[in-house]
Structures are given as structure tokens and as C-alpha cells.
């Protein structure tokens, strides 16, 4: 149908336009690597080293995001009839794995510095450079999170969450370095680095689990399920009953399939129009790009109930 073709075209344009935000993330990562790397060489702080290493992860994640967003924007083809939107999950899963790898390096470095403490130098200049890098990450993260939520892009959301973790991590490290500068307790620097590494592990695991959930076709969240049930209740009042409801999400695209049981005396024309209205209401209730599959069955036929117990959940 024309309006559905237009919807698909809009989706492709929407996904393709997201690549410019990946380029923004890449630029921010390069800038922060330069600034934080310089701050580390100025101060010798393992905390700032951990910050610089995480920026390398930011860069790798941003590059992966660019590649996967480009793939996700491709139209459906004979080999991928539902499109390529799931490619976004690979970007966030990849970034989660990189985060875990960087965290391991940070923790090892922190333990080595605990065993062999070393004085810090030029704290004032190093802190100034690190603050500037954090402000770049903060601004970039806010932009990515806003666009990620508006366009339902797990890739941009994951990148934004990682950058925000970087911001809070930097805040903790800077606080530790200020204390070191005041008290001269150099042991605080590797301790903070160790805490940073542990926090990055948590972020990496969260990203990996969320990505795995999408790849495993987890159902839509509770809020979306409630919206679907509200629409179903409206049509029950018209004499239609439902079963075999299934939902899943592939990045920005949401999928809903359900069996509609209608009175046997209804004409095919009437039942079809009810189904079209139902699908339109589901799309309006969920928002974004929603693919709805409805299977029509007569409510009086006993065979209509048998498929509930096959591979579907009522």
C-alpha cells in the first residue's frame, strides 16, 4: 500500500541520517583521546590513564556504530525480508566487549601502581585538560541520548550511556586527584583507578546484556504491552477476541503479531476492515515504525484455538 511504502522510505532516511551522529562521536573521541592522553603524560596519573584508555574504547565503539548504522539503513532484500535494523545490536554488543577489555587493563594498571606508588606531577594543568575533555564528552552524550531516544536507536543510546559513564568517571578521578594534591596521598590515585575499572565493567555488562536481549527477540517492554492491551480492549467491545499475541523489537522497528477471532457471520470485507483499523491503532499507540501481522479466524471454529498451544503464548 502507498502509505506503507512511504513509511518504509521514511525509516530508511531516518536510519541513514543517524550516521552523522556517529561521526560526531568519532570526532569527540579523537579530541578526548588527545586531551586525556596529554593530561596523563603531564601528571603520570593512572586515573587519567584509565580515562584515556576508555576514550580509545569510545573511538572504536563510534566507528562500529557508524558501520552498523550504515548497514541498518539498508532496505529489505531477498535475504533479509525484515530489513537490517538488528545490525544496531552488534554495535552496542561490540562496544560492551571493548569496555570490558579496557576495564581489565585499567584494573591491572591500578594494581601495579598500588604495588609501586609514584608521585604525580603538574596536577593543575593536567586537571584543566581533563575537564575540557569531559565537557566535550558531556555535550556529545546529551546530543546522542536525545537523538537515540527520539529515533529509538540502541546504538546511539549505548554510545551516549558510555560517554556519560566516562563523564562521571572523570569527575571521580578529578576529585581523587584534587585530594591527592591537597594531602599528597598518592595511593588514592590507583584506588580511584581501580574503582573506575570496576564501574566500567558494570557498564560493559549492562550494554552486552541489553544487546543480547535484542538479538534474542525479547518481547516489547511493559509500557508497550500495556498500550497494545488498551487497543485490544477497545476491539473486544466490538465483538472481536484475540490470542497468540507475540511482540519483538529490532532496534527502531517494532513487530506485533496476533490472531483475531471474529464472528463467523461477518463478511470478509467487514473483517478485513476491522483488521486494518486494528493495525492502524496499534501503530498509533506504539509510535515509531511498527509492523503488525494479524491472522483472522472464526471465533466459533474449535480449530481456531488449537494454535495457542503450539509455539505461541496467549
C-alpha cell at 2: 502507498
| pLDDT class of 314 with cuts at 50, 70, 90 | very low
* 244 vs 115, more confident: 244
- Distance, C-alpha 35 to centroid of its chain: 27
What's the pLDDT at 2? 45
Tens-digit pLDDT profile for residues 144-159: 988 888 877 878 887 8
C-alpha cell at 100: 570490558
- What the chain holds in terms of domains, given with CATH numbers, is 2-215 (1.20.1510.10), 222-309 (3.30.70.1350)
| Average pLDDT score over residue span 244-257 | 87
* 180 vs 207, more confident: 207
Q: How many CB atoms lie within 10 A of CB 183?
A: 9
What's the pLDDT at 160? 84
In sequence order, which residues have a C-beta less than 8 Å from that of residue 173 and are 6 or more positions away? 45, 47, 48, 50, 51, 130, 192, 193, 196
What's the pLDDT at 186? 66
- Judged against a pLDDT cut of 90, whether residue 293 lies above it is answered with yes
- Judged against a pLDDT cut of 90, whether residue 122 lies above it is answered with no
Tens-digit pLDDT profile for residues 62-102: 888 888 888 887 888 888 878 888 888 888 788 778 777 77
What's the pLDDT at 51? 66
What's the pLDDT at 119? 59
Amino acid at each position: 500500500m502507498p502509505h506503507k511504502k512511504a513509511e518504509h522510505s521514511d525509516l530508511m532516511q531516518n536510519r541513514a541520517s543517524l550516521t552523522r551522529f556517529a561521526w560526531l562521536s568519532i570526532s569527540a573521541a579523537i579530541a578526548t583521546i588527545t586531551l586525556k592522553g596529554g593530561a596523563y603524560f603531564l601528571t603520570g596519573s593512572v586515573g587519567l590513564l584509565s580515562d584515556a584508555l576508555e576514550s580509545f574504547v569510545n573511538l572504536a565503539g563510534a566507528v562500529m556504530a557508524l558501520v552498523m548504522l550504515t548497514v541498518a539503513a539498508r532496505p529489505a532484500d531477498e535475504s533479509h525480508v525484515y530489513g537490517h535494523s538488528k545490525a544496531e545490536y552488534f554495535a552496542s554488543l561490540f562496544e560492551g566487549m571493548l569496555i570490558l577489555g579496557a576495564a581489565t587493563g585499567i584494573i591491572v594498571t591500578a594494581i601495579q601502581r598500588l604495588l609501586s606508588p609514584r608521585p604525580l606531577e603538574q596536577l593543575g594543568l593536567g586537571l584543566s585538560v581533563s575537564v575540557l575533555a569531559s565537557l566535550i564528552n558531556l555535550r556529545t552524550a546529551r546530543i546522542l541520548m536525545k537523538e537515540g531516544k527520539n529515533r529509538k536507536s540502541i546504538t546511539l543510546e549505548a554510545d551516549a550511556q558510555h560517554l556519560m559513564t566516562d563523564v562521571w568517571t572523570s569527575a571521580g578521578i578529578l576529585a581523587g586527584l584534587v585530594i591527592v594534591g591537597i594531602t599528597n596521598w598518592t595511593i588514592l590515585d590507583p584506588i580511584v583507578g581501580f574503582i573506575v575499572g570496576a564501574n566500567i565493567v558494570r557498564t560493559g555488562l549492562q550494554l552486552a546484556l541489553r544487546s543480547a536481549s535484542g538479538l534474542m527477540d525479547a518481547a516489547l517492554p511493559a509500557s508497550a504491552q500495556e498500550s497494545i492491551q488498551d487497543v485490544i480492549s477497545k476491539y473486544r467491545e466490538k465483538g472481536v477476541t484475540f490470542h497468540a499475541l507475540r511482540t519483538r523489537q529490532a532496534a527502531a522497528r517494532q513487530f506485533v503479531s496476533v490472531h483475531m477471532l471474529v464472528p463467523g457471520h461477518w463478511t470478509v470485507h467487514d473483517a478485513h476492515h476491522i483488521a486494518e483499523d486494528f493495525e492502524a491503532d496499534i501503530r498509533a499507540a506504539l509510535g515509531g515504525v511498527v509492523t503488525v501481522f494479524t491472522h483472522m479466524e472464526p471465533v466459533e471454529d474449535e480449530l481456531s484455538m488449537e494454535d495457542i498451544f503450539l509455539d505461541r503464548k496467549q
